[in-house]
Amino acid sequence: MSKEAGRNKIKRHKDRGHYDELTINQILDDGKICHVGFTVDQQPFVIPMAYARQGHSLILHGAPNSRLLNQLANGIPACVTVTHLDGLVLARSTFHHSLNFRSVVAFGKARAIELLDEKHAALIAITEHLAPGRTAVARAATDEEAMATSVVLFEIEEASAKIRTGPPIDSPKDMALDVWAGVIPTSIQEHAPLAAPDLKPGITYE
């Protein structure tokens, strides 16, 4: 996964490229949503999905009639991306505005998870990735619910990460302009939980 090859080789701003598993896995583990790109009959599609990493693979799940999951289960090649926006980089000129970000582009193929025990484990992994500790308090999926869910394991063959950090890079001729320049940090944050309207009294979120 960490080897620089043809598909995952970064060509622009090579200094921002990373191919080591530690960096790639950290970016994947920090994300909640990936975008899966694939092609069917020469028509490209990109679908956002929740995921969880399992070793060198990503677990994806959905409805049995999902075109994406059915195509992936058939072994078509796909590309999965994950991106984190870490800051708006505001320069003195609009031309030099940029973004601080962390991203991963991964190439590979998927296989269907059919065994019931493996499906349960995969669904638990996704739940724990999205909401750590949730499986300890919420009802587990029944066998019928698990069998009614399509689950695939996207096996990463090649991947690369790209990261930009730091302040804007202005043109020397713009340095004297009376324009604010710097970085506005951004992040995804969890806020105070909103209880379901039909929640029984006395139950709190932990």
Average pLDDT over residues 169-184: 96
- Average per-residue pLDDT for the chain: 94
User: Domains of the chain, with CATH numbers?
Assistant: 14-167 (2.30.110.10)
Its pTM surpasses 0.75? yes
**Best CA proximity match to 70, nearest among 157, 154, 150:** 150
> Could you tell me the two tokens for 131?
């909401």
What is the CB neighbour count within 10 angstroms for residue 24?
24
Phi, psi of 61 (to 5 degrees): -145, 160
Contact 159, 20 (CB under 8 A): no
What tens digit of pLDDT does each residue of 30-89 get?
A: 999 999 999 999 999 999 999 999 999 999 999 988 988 999 999 999 999 999 999 999
Give pLDDT, residue 8.
79
State both tokens at 27.
Answer: 């970016």
How many angstroms separate the CA atoms of 20 and 158, rounded?
11
